[in-house]
């Protein structure tokens, strides 16, 4: 194999009760990366379309992660990377994770898959850390493993069961919220009482994924700790939440560190209806926005073609 084209999807991190822990992989929206072997032993990003980003290997997350991978294996060739950004940087649905996971996934395929997707997480994470030092692994884990993932520790990641049919609606208000700024909003201390409630919800949510108990999924997807601070960053957050509930969602919350928000529904028709209700609300505001709907992507990154 000399060339591979892949689809590296968007993802939701900080999923409600799982701040820095829970991630989920989306479908439909994502980056496309084309990577080809070159004779010259060099790593270059030849083209980036869709959004403006640096092509400098040390400045681009896909470059940083790829370089980390290559420093941990021995290959006789170089690689050219083309990136078609489908996810806007700073949207809160794992834009950097898609690129940094995508490049290591593609190169791993081209060199005969010496690493499992799970093993690639540590390389992809280095890309993430180039943007934000304290970046947790919840986005890259979800993208590389697919489905719902739980980060117990950076190097101990668990793929959870993913009940069928679940569909997400994501609203991305095109306002800038930097991850570092959004993190600064959060208090460094939590009351023990809230900790108990939040962790009970996380435990209940994990149980509900295995028993495919949709009502319990809905009840347990609550964020008492982070949402109160960050929801102010998102225009009409409460209106969106109410509209999501009124349209039968299982849960509603902030995606990553915002500004995107998500709604989770039992099926795609509900998710689409919720999306329409979000559009109605945001059409009243003077803010550009996108709405995506997506089933849970239980596979993660997909190969589009290879030759």
276 catalytic residue (yes or no): no
Task: Name the site residues for a copy of itself (rule: CB under 8 A).
Answer: 17-22, 150-153, 156, 158, 160-161, 186-193, 195-196, 198-207, 210, 216, 219-220, 225
Q: Which two tokens stand for residue 137?
A: 């692994």
User: In this complex, which beta carbon is closest to a copy of itself, that of residue 133 or of residue 152?
Assistant: 152
User: In this complex, which beta carbon is closest to a copy of itself, that of residue 206 or of residue 271?
Assistant: 206
- 8 A C-beta contact, residue 86 and residue 32: yes
User: In this complex, which beta carbon is closest to a copy of itself, that of residue 187 or of residue 288?
Assistant: 187
Residue 81 φ/ψ, nearest 5 degrees:
-120, 130
Q: Which of 243, 231, 235 is nearest to 282 (CA)?
A: 235
Cα distances (Å, whole numbers) of residue 81 to 60, 65, 100? 11, 12, 12
Quote the least distance from Cβ 22 to a copy of itself, whole Å: 7
CA angle 205, 260, 300 (to 5 degrees): 60
d(CA 205, CA 18): 9
Quote the least distance from Cβ 266 to a copy of itself, whole Å: 19
Quote the least distance from Cβ 187 to a copy of itself, whole Å: 7
Quote the least distance from Cβ 172 to a copy of itself, whole Å: 25
Q: Which of 133, 145, 219 is nearest to 184 (CA)?
A: 133
- Kindly write down the DSSP assignment for every residue of 138-153, as one continuous string: HHHHHHHH-SEEEEEE
Q: Which of 32, 34, 68, 128 is catalytic?
A: 128
305 catalytic residue (yes or no): no
H/E segment holding residue 302: strand 302-306
User: In this complex, which beta carbon is closest to a copy of itself, that of residue 195 or of residue 287?
Assistant: 195
Quote the least distance from Cβ 65 to a copy of itself, whole Å: 23
Q: Which of 264, 240, 272 is nearest to 148 (CA)?
A: 264
Q: Which of 68, 169, 179, 293 is catalytic?
A: 179
Quote the least distance from Cβ 54 to a copy of itself, whole Å: 31
Q: Which of 91, 11, 80 is nearest to 51 (CA)?
A: 91
CA angle 166, 277, 15 (to 5 degrees): 40
User: In this complex, which beta carbon is closest to a copy of itself, that of residue 2 or of residue 155?
Assistant: 155
d(CA 84, CA 74): 27
User: In this complex, which beta carbon is closest to a copy of itself, that of residue 39 or of residue 193?
Assistant: 193
- 8 A C-beta contact, residue 14 and residue 107: no
Q: Which residues are marked as active site?
A: 128, 179
């Amino acid at each position: 194999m000399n060339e591979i084209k892949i689809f590296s999807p968007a993802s939701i991190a900080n999923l409600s009760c799982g701040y820095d822990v829970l991630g989920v992989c989306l479908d439909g929206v994502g980056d496309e990366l084309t990577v080809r072997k070159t004779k010259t032993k060099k790593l270059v990003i030849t083209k980036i379309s869709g959004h403006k980003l640096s092509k400098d290997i040390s400045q681009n997350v896909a470059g940083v992660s790829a370089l980390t991978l290559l420093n941990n294996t021995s290959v006789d060739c170089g690689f050219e990377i083309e990136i078609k950004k489908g996810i806007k940087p700073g949207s809160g649905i794992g834009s950097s994770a898609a690129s940094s996971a995508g490049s290591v996934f593609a190169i791993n395929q081209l060199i005969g898959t010496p690493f499992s997707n799970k093993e690639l997480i540590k390389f992809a994470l280095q890309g993430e850390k180039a943007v934000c030092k304290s970046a947790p692994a919840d986005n890259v884990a979800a993208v590389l493993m697919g489905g719902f993932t739980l980060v117990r520790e950076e190097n101990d990641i668990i793929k959870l069961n993913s009940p069928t049919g679940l569909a997400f609606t994501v609203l991305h208000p095109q306002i800038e919220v930097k991850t570092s700024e959004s993190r600064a909003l959060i208090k460094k201390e939590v009351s023990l009482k809230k900790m108990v409630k939040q962790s009970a919800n996380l435990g209940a949510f994990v149980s509900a994924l295995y028993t495919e108990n949709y009502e319990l999924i809905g009840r347990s997807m609550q964020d008492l700790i982070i949402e109160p601070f960050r929801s102010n960053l998102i225009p009409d957050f409460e209106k969106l939440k109410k509209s999501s509930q009124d349209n039968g969602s299982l849960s509603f919350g902030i995606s990553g560190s915002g500004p995107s928000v998500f709604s989770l529904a039992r099926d795609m028709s509900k998710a689409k209806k919720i999306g329409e209700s979000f559009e109605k609300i945001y059409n009243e505001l003077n803010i550009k926005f996108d709405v995506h709907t997506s089933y849970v992507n239980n596979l993660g990154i997909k190969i589009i073609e290879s030759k």
